[in-house]
Amino acid sequence: MGRHRPRPAASARPENLPRPVGGVSPMPPPNPRISWLPAARALLAGAALAALAACARPLAEPIPVLMYHHVAPDPGRDVWTVATDEFRRQIAALKAAGYETVLPGELRAGGARPLKPLVITFDDGLLSTLTEAEPILRAAGFRAICYLITGSVADTPAERMKYGTYDCLTWEDVRAMQSRGTFAFGIHSHSHAGQPDRIAQEAAECRRIFRDKTGVATRDFCYPYGAAPNHLVQAVAAAGYRTAMVCADRLFVPGLGADWLRIPRVSVYGGRHDFSATPPARAESGAIAADVRNAGVPLPVRGVLRDSATGRAWNLQPPDRLGPELQTWRWTDLPADLDPAALQVEIWEQNGLFRYFP
């Protein structure tokens, strides 16, 4: 017996709809055949996109990734050696500013992160990361990652090797530091050669050496001299690394489109410094000017003019590194009611992360 389409209800026939009044057709009654699913799906999709956007917004915030090398009581004129007391002041300033440290792998994995994340890195695997840096970081509750030159890491202190003139960590040191948790470790090649082809050949073997010596796998790499041509980046990825550092001297913006195998870092310059600045004064042009100098190793800085009466501050980015040669800094387009007697010149790290002077 065949199936017959049921006769439509009378209320659905056009002739039974109310007639137009005043030339305006009334809204037809709801059609039961129209599903509510498309509208619900659209609503859910919109909510999901809004939630995704809310999660993605913090990922667009720039994150400082600091690059250190060596910490010592007397840095002399070595631009890559930060004085121990200065390192302590820097870490205290970062802590007071509300920064909390994360490791590169944690950053890439996503998930919950601090409101002000900070990554601290040390290159070369020098002994000073153990003797000078670790106690200061541990006291602040900070963590850092140290990138090892595996060819410069001996098994025991009796066999300790040097990188240049500096003592290096041993595998005994590395295992002990891992167990304490302040430092994690990554790879800085086996030879630290300035030859990308050679570094590409070493990338996988370094991971194997590290795993054999520590029992832990690492997926974090740091390019020697910051050189990261495409073929080396591809070799690093093929070797199983998920993050890799360069030296681009800018903040890192994670999230969609981020290059996790070319993470830029902010160089923390060392050496002995002796900053000075004259009291700010109003120049003929109306600008506020001050003469500044660093009788030490030149370094990139940020100038800040601060009004002690109100707390207001104005930044200035000098075009040249601040060294022994006198520089005149001028702040323009300032409020006319500023009292020069209430103004003070401050010298900060180039990204404003911590203050050098006064």
What does 297-333 look like in DSSP terms, one character per residue? S-B-EEEEEEETTT--EEEE--SS-B-SS-EEEEE-S
- Render pLDDT for 141-183 as a digit per residue (tens, 0 to 9): 999 999 999 999 999 999 999 999 999 999 999 999 999 999 9
| pLDDT higher than threshold 50 for residue 110 | yes
For helices 171-180 and 196-214, the axis angle rounded to 10 degrees is 70
Computed over every residue of the chain, the mean pLDDT equals 88
pLDDT range class, residue 41, cuts 50, 70, 90: low
| pLDDT higher than threshold 60 for residue 51 | no
Q: Which range has the top average pLDDT, 44-53, 206-215, 333-342?
A: 206-215
- Render pLDDT for 255-300 as a digit per residue (tens, 0 to 9): 889 999 999 999 999 999 999 999 999 998 889 999 999 999 999 9
pLDDT range class, residue 55, cuts 50, 70, 90: very low
Residue 175: per-residue pLDDT:
98
Alpha-helix runs per DSSP H in 11-122: 37-59, 84-96, 104-109
Residue 25: per-residue pLDDT:
39
Domain 55-267 top-level CATH class: alpha beta
The more confidently predicted of residues 332 and 50 is 332
Residue 47: per-residue pLDDT:
54
The more confidently predicted of residues 10 and 153 is 153
The more confidently predicted of residues 55 and 185 is 185
* % of residues, the chain, pLDDT over 90: 79
150: left (phi over 0), alpha (psi -120 to 50) or beta: alpha
Q: Which range has the top average pLDDT, 44-48, 55-59, 74-78?
A: 74-78
Distance between CA 143 and CA 178 in Å, rounded? 11
| pLDDT higher than threshold 70 for residue 18 | no
Lowest mean pLDDT among 104-113, 121-130, 136-145, 311-320: 104-113
Residue 336: per-residue pLDDT:
86
Residue 217: per-residue pLDDT:
97
| pLDDT higher than threshold 50 for residue 350 | yes
- Specify whether the CB–CB gap between 103 and 143 falls below 8 A: yes
| Tokens encoding 337 | 């009611």
The pTM score is 0.82
The dihedral built from the CA positions of residue 73, 77, 78 and 80, taken in this order, carries a sign that is: positive
Distance between CA 246 and CA 350 in Å, rounded? 18
Residue 268: per-residue pLDDT:
98
pLDDT range class, residue 45, cuts 50, 70, 90: low
Distance between CA 207 and CA 302 in Å, rounded? 39
| pLDDT higher than threshold 90 for residue 114 | yes
